[in-house]
A and B are shown apart, each in its own frame.
Chain A
Amino acid sequence: MIDETRLIEIKGVSKSFGDTQVLHDIDLYIRKREFVTLLGPSGCGKTTLLRILGGFEMPSTGEVLFEGKDMTGIPPYKRRINTVFQKYALFNHLNVFDNIAFGLNLKTPEQLGCKSRAEMKQEVARRVNRMLKLVKMEGYEKRSTNALSGGQQQRIAIARALVNEPEVLLLDEPLGALDLKLRKEMQLELKAMQQQLGITFIYVTHDQEEALTMSDTIVVMNHGRIQQIGDPKGIYDEPRNAFVADFIGESNIIDGTMLQDDLVRFSDTEFQCVDEGFAKNEPVDVVIRPEDIMLVGEDVGMLRGVVESVIFKGVHYEMIIESNDCKWKVQSTTMQPVGTRVGMTIVPYNIHIMHKMPVLKEA
């Protein structure tokens, strides 16, 4: 599906507002027909990066290439990029039809392949109706945008951007204001639209589950720097540092010491692992997913502990287990009552060893 050609290349982009630097030396490329998600907590710079791509902000240093040509100084109205804004930004003085037709009506008949104004009017109506069908809003042409629900407004905002047939669609937390169920439906619809239309989507969100569901590539950002770039599975299974591990899904992050290749010590116990290339006795972050800890009998576990609290989460129970002054978050489908003494085992390839964060900050 994804073309290997690099559609957009971001080279050494930094951005400061006054004294605050919000983006540090960002390098990133985006391929044709790729669904890329910029993921990170609020204030990580993801929206600023998106706004630079849209042409609403200029990078302080660095350049942005579009099909190999520098587009840094090109204003938004000359880019083949359209945006779906966080708060929809629909034009309330226009009805649904005129909102979607807005971009098309700014074009000349020739640009739409028409010979006359009258012919163009028909062409605009045809394209708008096709979009209404795509976003499942047929029959709403004459409605006022004020009379629509949040989810419906979002659909119109998407249609208004897509009708211009952009090369790239930028989406700034478009589902943030919707309820959970609607959000999940829209995630699947958006992904389906993207595949059907073959357009590159660049999607900003702070919701890791959303990112995992929709993306071909996830770019995890924090403090204005890219922490990791990879496909959803790669990022979830092999987080590059403790921040990514903590942000994508839930994690236990414990201080440990790398004794030698494939052997780590934490919680006063030595464990086999599958990581190599660390210095001898190097202090490391040990990351273990809550679902990767297996509860066993107290006498056969690698670690022993006491169940401190239990929360029912629907699919599983989440338990906090205290062991050797360490608190472990464990997810399991079988519940152990509070106060039970349990044993825990972890298989070597579920133990992820990471360099300590300060080392990574310099990188």
Chain B
Amino acid sequence: MKVRSHRAGKLLKGLWLALVLAFLYIPIIVMIALSFNASVSRAAWTGFTLDWYVKLFKSKQIMAALNVTITVAVIATVVSTVLGTLGAIGMHAMSTGMANLLINVSYLPMTTPDIVTGVSLMLMFIFVKVPLGKWTMIMAHIAFDTPYVLFSVMPKLRQMNPNLYEAALDLGCHPAKALYKVIIPEIMPGIVTGALLAFTMSLDDFVISYFTSNTDQNLAMIVYSAARRGVEPTMYALSTLMFIVVLGLLLIVNRRNGLEDIA
């Protein structure tokens, strides 16, 4: 009796998990499947094709958006990685009270709804009379990327042997030299993880980009505006590629974090 109920419980658990995963992933699987469907129709499967992908890469509008997306993501990642890393090092050196205050202030943008961040950034740019475009989008991305770098680097600094910096000074380094010869290499895994996270966040951002840009559109904005006109299978293809790139990046980040936990 007992054994059977145990088995039934196990089965039920497995079923529940399968249901949850299905709920989460079936829409994406359907979308990926439809991106290979020869027919424009969403109802019928008329054969496998890569036409939508070819069309995607031939579209000037989409290629321009890809260009915007990558430019914004690369610049925002580089700047926010430098800012976040230096910020983390500075906060690490502060008194506990001050550091805690700054940590909480930095958490806030991560928990604020994107729409609030987007609208407020847009208002600020209008208020200081900066025309909306690619550069305001880059500034907005820097703003929301930086905390991700900060919180990837902080734990590395906390784990670091506090004597490392002193050892570098002891052996003849000026403070600045100690920073780049010893501290930066020591926390490099955290910096790389932070940069990858920031890049991912930039790549797939829609809401904040939508509010802080004007004619310069990134890929997410293209998908959105296309969807309003009636979705074409090229958009499925584009979304599929974005999903795969972001998934790949997140897998790398998770793997890095996992490896460090073991080490």
Chain A interface residues (CB < 8 Å from chain B)? 54-56, 75-77, 81-83, 85-89, 91-93, 102-103, 106-107, 160-161, 164
Find out whether the CB atom of A85 lies under 8 angstroms from the CB atom of B174: no
Give the CA-CA distance A326 to B170 in the complex, in Å.
52
Most A CB within 10 A of own CB, among B163, B168, B185: B163
Where chain A touches its partner, the secondary structure class is loop
Most A CB within 10 A of own CB, among B171, B174, B177, B182: B171
Chain A residues within 8 Å of B170, by CB: 54, 76-77, 81-83, 161
| A91-B182, A91-B185 known; A77 vs B173 contact (CB < 8 Å) | yes
- Distance of A51 from chain B, by nearest CB (Å): 8
Chain B interface residues (CB < 8 Å from chain A)? 161, 163-164, 166-174, 177, 182, 185-186, 188
Most A CB within 10 A of own CB, among B170, B171, B172: B170
Find out whether the CB atom of A106 lies under 8 angstroms from the CB atom of B173: yes
Contact of B169 among A75, A86, A87 (CB under 8 A): A75
- Distance of A26 from chain B, by nearest CB (Å): 21
Find out whether the CB atom of B161 lies under 8 angstroms from the CB atom of A89: yes
Q: In chain B, what residue has the closest Cβ to A86?
A: B163
Contact of A82 among B161, B171, B177 (CB under 8 A): B171
Chain B residues within 8 Å of A102, by CB: 168, 171
Contact of A103 among B161, B171, B177 (CB under 8 A): B171
Q: In chain B, what residue has the closest Cβ to A92?
A: B186
Chain A residues within 8 Å of B186, by CB: 91-93
Contact of B171 among A75, A86, A106 (CB under 8 A): A106
- Distance of B168 from chain A, by nearest CB (Å): 8
Q: In chain B, what residue has the closest Cβ to A91?
A: B182
Find out whether the CB atom of A76 lies under 8 angstroms from the CB atom of B169: yes
Can you list 24 A-B pairs with a CB-CB distance of less than 8 A? A56-B166, A56-B169, A75-B169, A76-B170, A77-B171, A77-B172, A77-B174, A82-B170, A83-B167, A85-B161, A87-B161, A89-B161, A89-B164, A89-B166, A89-B167, A91-B167, A91-B186, A92-B186, A93-B185, A93-B188, A106-B171, A106-B173, A106-B177, A164-B171
Chain A residues within 8 Å of B167, by CB: 83, 85, 89, 91
- Distance of B13 from chain A, by nearest CB (Å): 40
Find out whether the CB atom of A89 lies under 8 angstroms from the CB atom of B171: no
Most A CB within 10 A of own CB, among B172, B177, B185: B172
Most A CB within 10 A of own CB, among B167, B169, B182, B186: B167
Chain B residues within 8 Å of A107, by CB: 172
Chain A residues within 8 Å of B163, by CB: 85-87, 89
Chain B residues within 8 Å of A56, by CB: 166, 169
Give the CA-CA distance A81 to B182 in the complex, in Å.
20
Most B CB within 10 A of own CB, among A75, A77, A86: A77
- Distance of A105 from chain B, by nearest CB (Å): 9
Known: A76-B170, A77-B170, A93-B186. 13 other contacts (CB 8 A): A56-B169, A76-B169, A77-B174, A81-B170, A85-B167, A89-B166, A89-B167, A106-B171, A106-B172, A106-B177, A107-B172, A161-B171, A164-B171
Chain B residues within 8 Å of A75, by CB: 169
- Distance of A4 from chain B, by nearest CB (Å): 28
- Distance of B256 from chain A, by nearest CB (Å): 16
Most A CB within 10 A of own CB, among B168, B186, B188: B168
Most B CB within 10 A of own CB, among A81, A83, A91, A164: A91
Q: In chain A, what residue has the closest Cβ to B178?
A: A77
- Distance of A75 from chain B, by nearest CB (Å): 7
